[in-house]
């Protein structure tokens, strides 16, 4: 049985549970249990505070965990980052009052900075050779300048709306963060086998999200140009149409390249382009 720790509430909880379900793992977490066992996969799930997950994985109480990269780096435990999961994206940034004149990181010298992430902030300031006072607090960091507790803050930022509401502006980014899968480095071989099965499923789900399946009709004299755009997993699938000189082409396109590819396909006389989401993609 593989034991995984995920956030019991907060910004990573829903996406973590959704990922496990997309991997075909059925959970019953009725009444907000702190521990549950999957029905159809050898997996036991612990629901914990985000800040506690690195310690639980390091101690071997949990074998693996899903945690924010910002927490992983701040806690600095000797555990392994296995997989970047692509959700829960945010950044750890320094913000100052809007009215403050700010030209460079040197303007932070001598200021008092409130944060929950004192370790990463201290490292960043040391790298920049900036001498500032770090005031460690937990929760509601953004109000610190407004009540006179600090001159600036270092906190997680997603949209920036919370900073704006509290009269702050973002001036330095310390870290781009997302949810990551981590593991204890001393995992027994039998648990490594289960983990590899889980990773196969996670990779199939994440790869599918990053790609689209497309079908189109095109004149045969343009197929060479289209094949260069649509390599697919090995090569496109081509089927002759009833209309002479035309073919149906089926392939896979990366999400990041999608619209550029579509525009070029139109230039190569492609018609009837159909785009289909991919549920799972095993490469």
Q: What is the CATH number of the domain that holds 142?
A: 3.40.190.10
pLDDT score at 9:
86
Angstrom CA distances, 273 to 83, 147, 222, stand at 34, 57, 15
Is residue 215 situated within a structural domain? Answer: yes
Is residue 144 situated within a structural domain? Answer: yes
Q: How far apart are CA 45 and CA 28, in angstroms?
A: 10
What's the number of CA atoms in the CB half-sphere (13 Å) around residue 217?
9
If asked whether residues 226 and 195 sit together in one domain, one would say no
Is residue 163 situated within a structural domain? Answer: yes
If asked whether residues 34 and 170 sit together in one domain, one would say no
If asked whether residues 45 and 104 sit together in one domain, one would say no
If asked whether residues 100 and 162 sit together in one domain, one would say yes
Angstrom CA distances, 160 to 9, 73, 129, 250, 275, stand at 21, 22, 27, 41, 33
Is residue 282 situated within a structural domain? Answer: no
Q: How far apart are CA 24 and CA 110, in angstroms?
A: 53
Is residue 225 situated within a structural domain? Answer: yes
With beta carbons less than 8 A apart as the criterion, state whether 1 and 165 touch: no
With beta carbons less than 8 A apart as the criterion, state whether 199 and 82 touch: yes
The predicted model scores a pTM of 0.85
pLDDT score at 33:
78
Number of domains in the chain: 3
Residue with tokens 């396109």: 253
If asked whether residues 32 and 70 sit together in one domain, one would say yes
Q: How far apart are CA 206 and CA 198, in angstroms?
A: 12
Handedness of CA 86, 89, 94, 98 (dihedral sign): positive
Q: At 9, phi and psi to the nearest 5?
A: -160, 170
Alpha helices in 76-222 (DSSP H): 118-127, 161-165, 189-209
If asked whether residues 10 and 71 sit together in one domain, one would say yes
pLDDT score at 31:
57
With beta carbons less than 8 A apart as the criterion, state whether 60 and 78 touch: no
Single residue among 188, 208, 228 that ends a domain in this structure: 208
Is residue 72 situated within a structural domain? Answer: yes
Is residue 185 situated within a structural domain? Answer: yes
CATH classification of the domain holding 248 = 3.30.70.120
If asked whether residues 73 and 190 sit together in one domain, one would say yes
Question: Which 3 state secondary structure label does DSSP give 232?
Answer: coil
If asked whether residues 68 and 193 sit together in one domain, one would say yes
If asked whether residues 154 and 200 sit together in one domain, one would say no
If asked whether residues 149 and 21 sit together in one domain, one would say no
Q: How far apart are CA 126 and CA 128, in angstroms?
A: 5
If asked whether residues 172 and 134 sit together in one domain, one would say yes
If asked whether residues 79 and 189 sit together in one domain, one would say yes
Which residues of the chain fall short of a pLDDT of 50?
none
Could you list the residue range(s) of the whole structural domain that residue 9 is in? Answer: 2-88+179-208
Is residue 283 situated within a structural domain? Answer: no
């Amino acid at each position: 049985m593989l034991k995984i720790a995920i956030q019991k509430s907060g910004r990573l909880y829903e996406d973590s549970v959704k990922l496990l379900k997309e991997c075909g793992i059925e959970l019953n977490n009725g009444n907000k249990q702190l521990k549950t066992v999957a029905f159809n996969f050898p997996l036991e799930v612990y629901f914990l505070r985000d800040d506690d997950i690195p310690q639980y994985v390091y101690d071997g109480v949990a074998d693996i965990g899903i945690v924010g990269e910002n927490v992983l780096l701040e806690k600095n435990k000797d555990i392994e980052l296995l997989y970047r999961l692509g959700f829960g994206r945010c950044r750890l940034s320094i913000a100052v009052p809007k009215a403050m004149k700010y030209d460079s990181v040197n303007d932070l010298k001598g200021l008092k900075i409130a944060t929950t992430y004192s370790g990463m902030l201290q490292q960043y300031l040391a790298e920049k050779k900036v001498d500032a006072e770090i005031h460690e607090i937990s929760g509601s960091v953004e109000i610190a300048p407004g009540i006179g507790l600090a001159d600036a803050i270092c906190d997680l930022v997603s949209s920036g709306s919370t900073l704006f509401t509290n009269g702050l502006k973002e001036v330095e980014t310390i870290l781009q963060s997302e949810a990551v899968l981590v593991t204890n480095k001393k995992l027994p071989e039998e648990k490594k086998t289960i983990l590899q099965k889980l990773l196969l499923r996670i990779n199939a789900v994440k790869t599918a999200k990053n790609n689209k399946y497309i079908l189109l009709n095109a004149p045969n004299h343009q197929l060479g140009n289209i094949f260069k755009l649509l390599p697919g997993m090995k090569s496109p699938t081509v089927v002759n149409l009833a209309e002479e000189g035309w073919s149906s082409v089926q392939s896979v396109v990366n999400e990041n390249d999608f619209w550029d590819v579509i525009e070029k396909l139109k230039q190569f006389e492609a018609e009837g382009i159909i785009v289909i989401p991919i549920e799972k993609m095993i490469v």
